[in-house]
């Protein structure tokens, strides 16, 4: 059975990613891309659905031993796990080399002390655990073939097949290193190049050293910021510049519940905010590549803009359920594809325009096509900003006039006006200044509850929504405005979990809530970081710092965050690791650093 979500560590090559548990088992891997079918899907089922465990040998009826220690090697995505056993200590180094060619997952076993018997158990199952491949020897290599896919195992260790699994049993002594690697290749192409584990390790170390070296943040939260940046980089699909929201599907927002979604796609919202964090910490190349991705993905009529695309800009993301998978801790259904792709979410115009504006402010070279796109987006908004939509949380209930959506429509027009004022783009300045004022007035009249002194989730509603915390951050109103302070206080009062983190909005348990779904969910980590930001902005800096540091403590031992935190079970829930959690971590760290609010 899969471990807790926080028991996993991420390795990846900027084309796909794997999750490796503390027991040495790679339980999740899609090949060759993030959004391909999984070859290891034990995460959402059991061993029958594919895994690769590499660790100390253990008795037939025993549980696989958990690593005694683990860490990433310096500022890299190279995972090192160590087991202290009665026979000695052994280290397993796991990574995926950044590549042009065949995707590889490389594992190096290194004896540290004593002589430790090891076992590798590799069970490949294609199509998310559904298809058993044809496994056979080709010279020294093992090939597993099914339909369009083939996966090849290279290792100097002896292997044998049993119970539809490829095993390898060997012993390592101090200083001995044994490499094992799998590579993917389209099955019609034959064998991929043999994986060279040690060379791949040096190249991977060098890659991460060079990338992290560009980071311009040197503040007190550097360790957390750098780990988050590495995670965001790992979620970037290098060939196109697209960014996945997370490398997993259907890790549940409620253990045993049905709020299980596929995040292996590029949301304009998530990608745009990711870009903003990367730009603020010195990373221009990713911003440039994503802007190119954006232009290709949304090319054509802005009427046809989708809120999310495939990582190469694909539009068809049809949602289906995989009924043979029992789901993570029986959280059904397991979904692939995402029905939210066809929703109207007006906030997306604001996030994209904000990212393009920031790209300009941080000196990214002008791109006339991007400027043209921006004008088209605002022209579309002129006619549609006052329509109800599904909003930032992608509700599956009826459309509403979500206040956050309108605020972000204001952001879109505001940033466009600023770009015109700066001479970067040409547009109807007076008309859009008027539009900006019109949206602002409407939000303040219809989205604000005078009696309670708070903005509300949607026009005329009594509900609150943590997305309103973005009002001062986006510059819609200054932080000392009494309506902003009232909103922050109301959200803190009504949407806090007992341990002080923040829910997105109220859910209704067994009844369908505003989001059209039954069941509850955990504290939303992005919203909890936004609360820390707002507290700092309204002058409650010490409280902001304490909340931020409590949020940092929720990260797992290798610095990773899922989408949510279950305050009752005290564990991470939702897809993992999640860009939408790591981005606000970076943003809050930068804000607290700028305010000088850190230290004990």
Ligand X SMILES: OC[C@H]1O[C@H](O[C@H]2O[C@H](CO)[C@@H](O)[C@H](O)[C@H]2O)[C@H](O)[C@@H](O)[C@@H]1O
How many positions of this chain bind ligand X (CB under 6 A)? 15
Encode 465-484: b = buried (16+ Cβ within 10 Å), e = exposed: bbbbbbbbebebbebeeebb
* Touching ligand X, residues 570-599 (CB under 6 A): 580
Q: Based on CB atoms, which residue is closest to ligand X, 168 or 578? A: 578
Give yes or no for residue 267 binding ligand X (CB under 6 A).
yes
Q: What is d(CA 334, CA 43) in angstroms, rounded to the nearest whole number?
A: 11
Q: Examine residue 94 and tell whether it contacts ligand X (CB under 6 A).
A: no
* d(C-alpha 80, C-alpha 58), whole Å: 20
Residue pair 102/33 in contact (Cβ under 8 Å)? The answer is no
Question: What are the backbone angles phi and psi of residue 297, rounded to the nearest 5°?
Answer: -65, -45
**Least separation, in Å, of the C-beta of 394 and ligand X?**
4
Q: Which residue has the tokens 């359920």?
A: 321
3-state secondary structure (DSSP) of residue 229: helix
Smallest distance from ligand X to CB 262, Å? 7
What is the smallest separation between the CB atom of 179 and ligand X, expressed in angstroms? Answer: 36
User: How far is 208 from 281, CA to CA, in rounded Å?
Assistant: 16
Instruction: For residue 128, state whether it binds ligand X (rule: CB under 6 A).
Output: no
Question: Which is closer to ligand X, CB of 208 or CB of 529?
Answer: 529
CB of residue 393 to ligand X, shortest distance in Å: 4
Nearer to ligand X, 168 or 338 (CB): 338
Min CB(516)–ligand X separation in Å: 8
Counting contacts by CB under 6 A, is residue 396 touching ligand X? yes
How far apart CA 259 and CA 508 sit, in angstroms, is 13
CA distance 389 to 193: 50
* Residue 565 binds ligand X, judged by CB under 6 A: no
Nearest alpha-carbon partner for 324 in 572, 97, 129: 129
Q: Does 394 bind ligand X (CB under 6 A)?
A: yes
Where would I find the beta strands (DSSP E) of 33-138? 38-40, 51-56, 69-72, 79-85, 88-95, 104-114, 116-123, 134-138
Nearer to ligand X, 24 or 310 (CB): 310
The piece of 25-33, 57-65, 143-151, 259-267 that touches ligand X (CB under 6 A) is 259-267
Q: Distance (Å, rounded) from C-alpha 374 to C-alpha 371?
A: 5
Helices (H), 345-452: 347-361, 368-384, 403-421, 429-446
Smallest gap from Cβ 253 to ligand X, in A, equals: 7
* Residue 85 CA neighbour count, 13 Å, CB half: 27
Nearer to ligand X, 88 or 391 (CB): 391
Cβ atoms of 467 and 504 within 8 Å: the answer is yes
DSSP string across 522-534: -EEHHHHHHHHHH
Q: How far is the CB of 462 from ligand X (least distance, A)?
A: 21
Which of 420, 474 has the CB closer to ligand X?
Answer: 474
Rounded to a whole number of angstroms, the minimum distance from the CB of residue 453 to ligand X is 27
Q: Specify the residue, 240 or 338, whose C-beta has the smaller distance to ligand X.
A: 338
CB of 260 to ligand X, least distance (A): 9
Least Å from the CB of residue 78 to ligand X: 27
Choose, by CB under 6 A, the member of 233, 269, 483, 582 that binds ligand X. Answer: 269
In angstroms, give the least distance from the CB of 239 to ligand X. 21
CB of 390 to ligand X, least distance (A): 8
**Which of 38, 118, 289, 392 forms a contact with ligand X (CB under 6 A)?**
392
- CB neighbour burial string for 67-81, b if at least 16 within 10 angstroms, e if fewer: beebebeebbbbbbb
Written as six digits, the tokens of 425 are 């783009």
Rounded distance between C-alpha atoms, residue 106 and residue 121, angstroms: 14
| Binding track over 238-257 against ligand X, x by CB under 6 A | -------x------------
Strands 25-30 and 51-56: antiparallel
Q: Which is nearer to ligand X, 166 or 507 (CB)?
A: 507
How far apart, in whole angstroms, are the C-alpha atoms of residue 504 and residue 498? 15
DSSP summary character for residue 404? H
Of 402 and 448, nearer to ligand X (C-beta) is 402
Among the residue ranges 260-268, 370-378, 448-456, 483-491, the one whose residues contact ligand X (CB under 6 A): 260-268
Closest CA relative to residue 534, chosen from 454, 463, 459, 457: 454
Buried b (16+ CB within 10 A) or exposed e, 293-310: bbeebbeeebeebbbbbb
| Interface with ligand X, residue 505, by CB under 6 A | no
Helices (H), 268-367: 268-280, 285-297, 347-361
- The verdict on 270 binding ligand X (CB under 6 A) reads yes
> Please, what is the minimum distance in Å from the beta carbon of residue 234 to ligand X?
16
* Nearer of residues 236 and 371 to ligand X, judged by Cβ: 236
**Structure tokens that stand for 126 in this block:** 């294609």
Residue 182 or 474 with smaller CB distance to ligand X: 474
The two three-digit tokens of residue 400, written as one number: 């509403």
**The one among 170, 261, 290, 529 contacting ligand X by CB under 6 A:** 261
530 touching ligand X, by CB under 6 A: no
Residues 293-352 binding ligand X (CB under 6 A) are 338, 340
**Binds ligand X by CB under 6 A, chosen from 51, 52, 349, 393:** 393
Q: Of 427-486, which residues contact ligand X (CB under 6 A)?
A: none
Positions in the binding site for ligand X (CB under 6 A): 245, 259, 261, 263, 267, 269-270, 338, 340, 392-394, 396, 515, 580
């Amino acid at each position: 059975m899969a471990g807790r979500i926080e028991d996993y560590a991420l390795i990846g090559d900027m084309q796909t990613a794997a999750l490796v548990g503390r027991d040495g088992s790679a339980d999740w891997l899609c090949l060759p891309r993030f959004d391909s079918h999984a070859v290891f899907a034990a995460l959402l089922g059991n061993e029958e659905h594919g895994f690769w465990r590499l660790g100390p040998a253990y008795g037939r009826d025993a549980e696989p031993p958990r690593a005694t220690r683990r860490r990433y090697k310096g500022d890299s995505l190279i995972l090192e796990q160590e087991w202290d056993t009665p026979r000695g200590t052994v280290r397993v180094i796991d990574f995926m080399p950044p590549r042009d060619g065949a995707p590889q997952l490389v594992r190096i076993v290194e004896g540290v002390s004593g002589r430790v018997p090891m076992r590798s158990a590799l069970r490949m199952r294609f199509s998310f655990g559904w298809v058993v491949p044809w496994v056979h020897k080709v010279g020294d290599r093992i090939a597993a073939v099914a339909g369009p896919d083939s996966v090849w195992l290279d290792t100097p260790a002896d292997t044998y097949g049993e119970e539809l699994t490829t095993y390898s049993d060997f012993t390592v002594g101090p200083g001995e290193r044994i490499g094992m690697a799998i590579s993917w290749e389209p099955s019609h192409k034959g064998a991929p190049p043999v994986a060279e584990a040690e060379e791949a390790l040096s190249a991977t170390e060098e890659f991460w050293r060079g990338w992290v070296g560009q980071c311009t943040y040197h503040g007190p939260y550097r360790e957390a910021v750098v780990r988050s940046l590495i995670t965001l980089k790992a979620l970037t699909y290098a060939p196109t510049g697209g960014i996945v929201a997370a490398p997993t599907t259907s890790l549940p927002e409620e253990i045993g519940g049905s709020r299980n979604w596929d995040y292996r796609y590029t949301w304009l919202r998530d990608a745009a905010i990711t870009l903003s964090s990367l730009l603020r910490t010195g990373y221009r190349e990713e911003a440039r590549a994503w802007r190119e991705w954006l232009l290709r993905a949304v090319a054509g009529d802005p009427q046809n803009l989708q809120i999310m695309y495939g990582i190469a800009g694909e539009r068809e993301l049809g949602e289906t359920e995989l009924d043979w998978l029992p789901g993570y801790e029986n959280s059904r259904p397991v979904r692939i594809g995402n029905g939210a792709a066809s929703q109207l979410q007006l906030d997306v115009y604001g996030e994209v325009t904000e990212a393009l504006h920031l790209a300009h402010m941080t000196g990214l070279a002008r791109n006339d096509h991007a400027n043209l796109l921006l004008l088209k987006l605002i022209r579309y908004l002129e006619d549609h900003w006052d329509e109800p939509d599904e909003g930032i949380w992608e509700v599956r209930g009826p459309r509403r006039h979500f206040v956050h959506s309108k605020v972000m429509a204001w952001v879109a027009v505001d940033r466009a006006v600023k770009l015109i004022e700066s001479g970067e783009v040409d547009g109807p300045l007076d008309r859009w200044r008027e539009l900006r004022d019109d949206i602002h007035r409407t939000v303040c009249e219809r989205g604000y509850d005078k009696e309670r002194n708070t903005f509300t989730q949607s026009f005329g509603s009594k509900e609150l929504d943590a997305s309103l915390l973005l009002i001062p951050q986006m510059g819609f109103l200054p932080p000392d405005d009494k309506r902003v302070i009232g909103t922050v206080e109301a959200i803190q009062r009504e949407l806090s979990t007992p341990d002080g983190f923040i829910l997105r909005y109220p859910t209704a348990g067994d009844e369908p809530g505003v989001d059209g779904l039954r069941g509850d969910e955990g504290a939303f980590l992005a919203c909890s970081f936004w609360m820390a930001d707002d507290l700092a902005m309204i002058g409650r800096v010490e409280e902001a710092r304490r909340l931020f540091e409590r949020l940092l403590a929720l990260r797992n031992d290798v610095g990773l965050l899922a989408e949510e935190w279950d305050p009752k079970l005290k564990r991470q829930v939702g897809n993992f690791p999640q860009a939408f959690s790591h981005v606000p971590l970076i943003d809050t760290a930068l804000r607290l650093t700028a305010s000088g609010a850190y230290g004990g």
